[in-house]
A and B are shown apart, each in its own frame.
Chain A
Amino acid sequence: MSDIASRVKAIIVEKLGVDESEVTPEASFTNDLGADSLDTVELIMEFEKEFNVAIPDDQAETIGTVGQAVAYLEKNVKA
């Protein structure tokens, strides 16, 4: 697992109070991990803070699964 993926996973475990094993790439924040609309906004904010990026709202709307978050961040975070 990439460094980004493991940091994303840690944030999700912390914020959504889920078990690490549930945080698979296919897992949807709302359908599988119990997030509501506010949780999802908070997760995006936490990703922005952790990786020091700004995720525009139209981009944030495309991030619905763990894998989508990791892919977005791997593409947009400066190494």
Chain B
Amino acid sequence: MEFKRVVVTGLGALTPIGNTVPEYWNSLINGVSGAAFIKSFDVEKFKTKFACEVKGFDADGFLGRKDARKLDPFVQYALFSTEEAVKDAGLDFEKLDTSRIGVIWGSGIGGLKTFLDEVVNFAKGDGTPKFNPFFIPKMIADIAPGHISIKYGLRGPNFTTVSACASSNNSLIDAFNYLRLGKANMFITGGSEAIINEAGIGGFNAMHALSTRNDDPATASRPFDLDRDGFVAGEGAGTIILEELGHAIKRGAKIYAEMVGGGMSADAYHMTAPHPDGLGASLVMKAALEDAGLTPADIDYVNVHGTSTPIGDPQEVKAIQDAFGEHAYRINISSTKSMTGHLLGAAGAVEAIASILALKNDIIPPTINHFTDDPAFDPKINFTFNTAQKRVVNIAQSNGFGFGGHNASVIFKKYQQ
């Protein structure tokens, strides 16, 4: 059976550096940092006092107060970026077979804020279980694609992929595979996350995972810099409309790029630490290349996982050198997390969007906040430090690695008939 081809026909983004795709892209190529002191709760007692928060998002204005209070922020974000993508793709669902349109969404955690609020409320009481009836349906990680399907009446396959920070790469790969197999005509896919609250920051702080550069939040996310000291928490959502090529052509859709491959692997090593030799990371990049029928020399750009942690960044560089060999010197590498922070379950989605726009515009967004070279890294590797670079980008790869040792990598290509 011959696989069908899959193309990207719509994008939506709600990020710490822009609430729409054009704003996001403009910030990416101009090296804008989204990090600042946290506004959503009192950080006085917290080791890390900053994050990459979404700015100026008005949930009540977007959803109406009645619906907004029934939705955890990770769902509000999902609906917001999806509205942009649906409009961008020019979708009129009344004219389409909605039983052949699905939603596969990624979220690493789900409604953490809802969980926190409800449990705190219970703990303050006398032990009588007075839980709000919306507690569970607001919190569960699968509720975002549920709400997207309800809003647009989409009755195709519908679920959430949960693999921590690889979640939305997994959602893209699942959607890609179902489309290749002819199981649906279109997927709304991507991911969202909203963990900038007391439980999220406190929990990641306890793991020593977050940067504590409280004297200079804007430069705290510095992947591959000698003085990197942890990741910066981010939040938001990214939506990608994936569509079977024939369906897209038939409705005259605008085509951003073709999705050509997805790879998945596991480290099988440790709960949170990556494999020190980048074994899982190397495997996943090779798996994606093989799936796409490409060789390492075909890749122009790798949007890396690159979270700015002391142990995570080196293993990914090792993995890239293992997977790409000498070609590692000819590709551009960048970590857009230097600007957005780490959107966890939404990272794969917003970074896939960055990769797709790099292809479309022939510009590599930079790895900002680079001050000091780390001698551990081969100086011949081009990390695209500090400023965007123009280059023809035919094929781009985007990596996501999650706690639990989950790895997922996706490949996009300039669309050609």
Contacts and interface: CB of A to CB of B under 8 A. Distances in A.
A48 B133 CA distance: 14
B130 interface: yes
A17 B65 contact: yes
Contact of A41 (B64, B65, B67, B133): B133
Contacts of B65: 17
A16 B66 contact: yes
A29 to B, nearest CB: 13
B134 interface: yes
B66 A45 contact: no
B64 A38 contact: no
B66 A38 contact: no
Among B67, B130, B132, B133, residue most surrounded by chain A Cβ atoms (within 10 Å): B133
A38 B134 contact: yes
Contact of B133 (A16, A17, A38, A49): A38
B132 A45 contact: yes
Interface residues of A, number: 9
Contacts, number: 18
Interface residues of B, number: 9
A26 interface: no
Chain A interface, >50% SS class:
helix
A50 interface: no
Contacts of B137: 38
Contacts of A49: 130
Interface in A4-26: 15-17
Contacts of B130: 45, 48-49
Contacts of A15: 66
A11 to B, nearest CB: 13
B132 A17 contact: no
A74 interface: no
Nearest to A40: B133
B66 A42 contact: no
A78 to B, nearest CB: 19
A16 B66 CA distance: 6
Contacts of B64: 17
A38 B135 CA distance: 10
A45 B125 CA distance: 14
Nearest to B130: A45
A69 B24 CA distance: 49
Nearest to B68: A17
A17 B132 CA distance: 17
A41 B137 CA distance: 14
Pairs A-B, 3 closest by C-beta atoms: A17-B66, A41-B133, A38-B133
6 contacts: A16-B66, A17-B66, A41-B133, A42-B134, A45-B130, A45-B132
